[in-house]
Chains A and B, each alone.
Chain A
Amino acid sequence: MNIVIDRLKALSAKIIELETTILLSALYLVGIPFVWLLYRVSGHRLSVGWKPWKYQTDTLDACRSEASL
Chain B
Amino acid sequence: MKILGISCHYHEAAAALIIDGKIVAATAQERLSRKKHDADFPDLAINWCLSQAHLSVHDLDYVVFYEKPLIKFDRHLRIALAFFPHTLGWFVESMRNSLVEKLWIKSIIVAKLGIEEERVLFVPQHLSHAAASFYPSPFADAAVLTLDGVGEWTTGTMGEAHGHRVTMTSELRFPHSVGLLYSAITAFLGFEVNDGEYKVMGMAGFGKPIHIDRVRKLFTHHADGSITLHLQYFSFHRNAHRMYTRALEALFAGCDRFDIAASIQQVTEEIVLRMADVLYEKTKLPNLVYGGGVALNSVINAALLAKTKFKRVFIFRQQEMMERLLGLLCTCITMC
Give the B-binding residues of A (Cβ under 8 A): 20-21, 24-25, 27-29, 32-33, 35-36, 39, 44, 46-53, 55, 57-60, 63-69
Contact = CB atoms under 8 A, between A and B. Distances in A.
A64 B120 contact: yes
B335 A35 contact: no
Contact of B88 (A29, A52, A57): A29
A28 B171 contact: no
A46 B170 CA distance: 16
B96 A20 contact: yes
B25 to A, nearest CB: 22
B124 interface: yes
Nearest to A47: B173
B226 A49 contact: yes
B169 A53 contact: yes
Contact of A60 (B68, B82, B228, B335): B335
A67 B121 contact: no
Interface string B133-158: 00000000000000000000100011
Contacts of B85: 33
B82 A50 contact: no
Nearest to A59: B335
B95 interface: yes
A19 to B, nearest CB: 11
A60 B336 contact: yes
A49 B105 CA distance: 31
A32 B332 CA distance: 38
A47 B114 CA distance: 40
Given A49-B228, A53-B157, A63 B122 contact: yes
B206 interface: no
A59 B332 CA distance: 9
A32 B84 contact: yes
Which of the listed residues A57, A60, A68 has the most CB atoms from chain B within 10 Å of its own CB?
A57
Contact of B121 (A36, A58, A63): A63
A24 B68 contact: no
13 contacts: A29-B88, A33-B84, A36-B84, A47-B153, A50-B170, A50-B225, A50-B226, A51-B170, A60-B332, A63-B123, A63-B331, A65-B68, A67-B71
Contacts of B96: 20-21, 24
Given A51-B173, A60-B336, A69-B71, A28 B228 contact: no
Q: Which 9 A-B pairs have the closest CB atoms?
A: A67-B70, A53-B168, A63-B121, A50-B170, A47-B173, A24-B92, A66-B70, A49-B226, A36-B84
Interface string B75-105: 0001011101101100110011000000001
A57 to B, nearest CB: 6
Centre residue among A24, A29, A46, A65 by max chain B CB count within 10 A: A46
B292 interface: no
A68 B88 contact: no
Contact of B82 (A24, A33, A46): A46
B215 to A, nearest CB: 20
